[in-house]
Amino acid sequence: MARHGGRGWHGRVLAAAIGVTALAAVTSVWTAQAGPVDGSQAGAGASASPSAPAARALAAVSVEIAHASDKGARGVNITIDDGPDPVSTPQVLQVLRENGVKATFCMVGTQAEAYPDLVKAVVADGHRLCDHTVSHDTTMDTKSESYQSQQILDAERMITEASGGVRPMYYRAPGGAFTPYSRTLAASHGMRPLGWNVDTKDFERPGADAIVATVKNEVSNGPTILFHDAGGDRSQTVTALREVLPWLKEQGYSFGFPVR
């Protein structure tokens, strides 16, 4: 998986994250997002508080990087990275709602902490959450295990707190910077490592037509499609989603979640 370049905003996010240094030493005991521990889907908006009697840790999952869809061979997974963002995330949510599509939102911890109402809105619409680290450091695979732990587990906590107790079900390394350690750590907390098959490169703002063309040309590579809802002007992404979601339906694809 190629790493994304030119992400100056993440330097600012990293600066904002300084001070978030508590290392989580035990698995959280908060409830699974969008359903029980077995991964089945609950009603939209279902969540539990940390003190709820039924709340418990997510079961450990595979350390292998997931690409497949739970909808099978003709399933696709829409994944949205780097948010939430106060401008783009509501627009993305509206497009998904209009098309009846559920997605997986890979959230940066500091963004989730800054915009908890948006995290709750994502959950209320029946989407799933994914841990995308505290500060989106694409060089994580060159850093110490203690640093990787802080980035993953602090983000897990920040996202869960922002959501009102709904935990991320996946972990996506920034720029694909997975390590055996980070995959094992995430999986032990019930977060399946999550890859992608189609990189729309919407982060580079190549134009909505180019984003749509990438999906159409590359969806045969696999089901998990990468978009972004933060890190700058995402209007091209919103426009592209309006076109590509109906097109995928016309081609006989159904929308699912990454396997766990």
Give the active site residues: 81, 228
Q: Name the nearest CA neighbour of 130 among 108, 100, 99.
A: 108
- In contact, 79 and 106? CB cutoff 8 Å: yes
Calculate the alpha carbon distances from 4 to 1, 115, 130, 147, 175 in Å: 9, 24, 18, 21, 6
Half-sphere exposure of 51 (CA within 13 A, CB side): 0
Residue 101 CB coordination number (10 Å): 21
CA torsion, ordered 126, 211, 222, 186, to nearest 10 deg: -50
* Run of H or E residues at 79: strand 75-81
- In contact, 23 and 155? CB cutoff 8 Å: no
- In contact, 229 and 88? CB cutoff 8 Å: yes
Residue 120 identity: K
